[in-house]
């Protein structure tokens, strides 16, 4: 008969997986409990130590009588009292210097900021902006333009400059050329209307006397020059070369002159006239818009 193992020896007993897990868990719990107790004990010891130190410091700051003798209190120097403040200030300055060193170079130099196409040179803004790398280039462009000859102009002013440049560079026939060799040697009212209408849409240019740009008297002189009729480039001069007639007697081809000699045009009949109105406008056929006019016949036609 085989011997039965005693309960005091378990080397020959097989322990199941669950029993092993239970043993390990129980051991782990016991270890955790012991570690917790040790931590609690250490904390209590530290608290007691701090409390004892506080009592000693408080006692040392007051005079003590021992065996009839006075023990002077321990004095704290000014530098020791200010040490916490000094330490704090030192740490603050160090942190500021570290942050400054960490900023990119373009945050300090306006020139470098312009080179890197940034819109600000404020270091604080660069540091606090989460989109530092996405700053706009508006300020850089503004500075670049201000250092050059670039100036913002309106579309109207740009057009005016282009028209003026074209008028000054006109190399086609002039009124003087037509007077030397007029395309229409004989005066004809219907043909005058056709020639006058040919230049409708030409822009107004002060002093202009070519199809690149006309003023009022320059337009009148250019039209009549093609019929061999020379007129001065002046409202006053043109009005003096003809005979004043009644409004009801006016015919197409007569001149319409403003009473103050500020403007004139070519009468087209039915209360209308061809004229170059004013800056920003163009040659047009329009209604005579004022009664303050008189009519001049140049001594030709009917």
Tell me the pLDDT of the chain (302 aa) as tens digits: 555 555 555 555 556 666 666 666 677 778 888 888 889 989 988 888 888 888 777 766 665 444 444 445 555 566 666 677 777 777 777 777 766 655 554 444 555 444 444 444 455 554 555 554 444 434 444 444 445 555 677 888 888 999 999 999 999 999 999 999 999 999 999 999 999 999 999 999 999 999 999 999 999 999 999 999 999 999 999 999 999 999 999 999 999 999 999 999 999 999 999 999 999 999 999 999 999 999 999 977 54
Domain assignments of the chain as residue spans, ordered by start: 85-146, 163-297
Which homologous superfamily is 163-297 in? Answer: endopeptidase domain like (from Nostoc punctiforme) (3.90.1720.10)
Q: By the 8 A CB rule, do 300 and 187 touch?
A: yes
Task: Kindly write down the DSSP assignment for every residue of 35-71, as one continuous string.
Answer: HHHHHHHHHHHHHHHHHHHHHHHHHHTS-EEETTEEE
Q: What is the pTM of this model?
A: 0.51
**Residue of 147, 144, 140, 145 lying closest to 114 (CA atoms):** 140
Q: Cα 73 to the chain's mean position, in Å?
A: 71
Q: What is the DSSP string of 146-164?
A: HTSS-----HHHHHHHHHH
Within 13 Å of residue 77, how many CA atoms lie on the same side as its CB? Answer: 3
Residue 227: which of 200, 270, 266, 258 has the closest Cα? 266
**Contact by Cβ (8 Å): 268, 262:** no
């Amino acid at each position: 008969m085989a011997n039965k193992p005693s309960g005091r020896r378990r080397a020959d007993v097989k322990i199941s997986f669950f029993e092993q897990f239970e043993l390990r868990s129980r051991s782990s719990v016991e270890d955790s409990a012991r570690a917790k107790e040790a931590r609690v004990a250490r904390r209590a010891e530290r608290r007691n130590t701090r409390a004892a130190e506080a009592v000693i410091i408080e006692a040392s700051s007051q005079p003590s009588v021992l065996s009839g003798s006075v023990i002077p209190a321990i004095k704290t120097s000014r530098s020791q009292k200010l040490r916490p403040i000094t330490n704090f200030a030192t740490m603050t300055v160090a942190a500021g210097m570290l942050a400054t060193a960490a900023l990119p170079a373009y945050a300090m130099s306006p020139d470098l900021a312009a080179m890197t196409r940034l819109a600000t040179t404020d270091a604080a803004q660069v540091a606090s902006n989460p989109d530092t790398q996405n700053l706009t280039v508006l300020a850089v462009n503004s500075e670049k333009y201000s250092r050059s000859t670039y100036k913002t102009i309106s579309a109207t002013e740009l057009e005016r400059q282009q028209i003026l440049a074209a008028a000054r560079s006109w190399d086609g026939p002039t009124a003087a050329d037509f007077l030397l060799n007029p395309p229409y040697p004989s005066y004809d009212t219907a043909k005058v209307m056709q020639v006058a209408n040919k230049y409708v849409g030409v822009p107004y240019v002060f002093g202009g006397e070519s199809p690149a740009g006309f003023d009022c008297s320059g337009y009148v002189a250019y039209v009549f020059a093609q019929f061999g009729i020379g007129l001065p480039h002046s409202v006053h001069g043109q009005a003096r070369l003809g005979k004043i007639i009644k409004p009801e007697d006016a015919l197409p081809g007569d001149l319409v002159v403003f009473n103050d000699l500020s403007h004139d045009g070519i009468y087209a009949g039915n209360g209308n006239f061809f004229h170059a109105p004013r800056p920003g406008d163009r040659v047009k056929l329009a209604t005579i818009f004022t009664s303050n006019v008189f009519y001049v016949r140049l001594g030709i036609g009917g």
